[in-house]
Amino acid sequence: MHIKVCNVAEEGDRRTLVEWVSVHFSNLNILINNAGVQRDIEFTKGISEFLSGENEIRINLESPIILSGLFIPHLTGKKEAAIINVSSGLGFIPAARMPVYSASKAGMHAFSMALRQQLLKSGIKVFEVVPPAVETGLNPEGRAKRGNFKVDLMPDEFVAAVMKGFKNDIFEIGYGMTAGLIKASREELDKSFQQMNSRW
């Protein structure tokens, strides 16, 4: 494994990463857009919470869009080339307590669909991975507010399911709850939204 530290929110770091890959890994054929942050933000308090922390729009949505554009010339013509975008079940059913994160992941879903269509003839596949809640270190402040919120799904179990999806060319890969969300009707999504956000 080779590691290159990169702040995907910084334009200089993104371009340095692409140049480094081009020089050292000319045969690289897969880009995984997985960097992300999640924050609880309450707009009833105004704009201060949004402005005071990491920018979810820049990290979760803008950066994957730009990185995809930067890497597409490198990926074109490579065997089994792919772009893998990680969205979220919250891109299908937004959480009121995490409005910006939810919006950024809904944007990632829309971008993945549109990019997949654009790249149909290029030989570059576009996968979207749609995780449910997975036991990770995401949003530790928000989880602590909710009593150190824990989930039963471990990363290794989820990743094993995702790898099967790649193998079978399933371009929108969910697991558990999110497998249903991908195929849900608008009525079903609205009902789930009301249930999940009932405290608001």
Q: Annotated active-site positions, please?
A: 101
Tokens standing for residue 127 = 């996968």
d(CA 172, CA 183): 10
Asked if residues 132 and 177 have their Cβ atoms less than 8 Å apart, the reply is: yes
Query: Kind of pairing, strands 172-174 and 30-33?
Result: unpaired
Asked if residues 104 and 45 have their Cβ atoms less than 8 Å apart, the reply is: no
d(CA 29, CA 166): 14
Tokens standing for residue 98 = 């995490």
Q: Backbone dihedral region of 80: left (phi > 0), alpha (psi from -120 to 50 degrees) or beta?
A: left
Residue 184: HSE in the Cβ half-sphere, 13 Å Cα cutoff: 19
Which uninterrupted H or E stretch holds 173?
Answer: strand 172-174
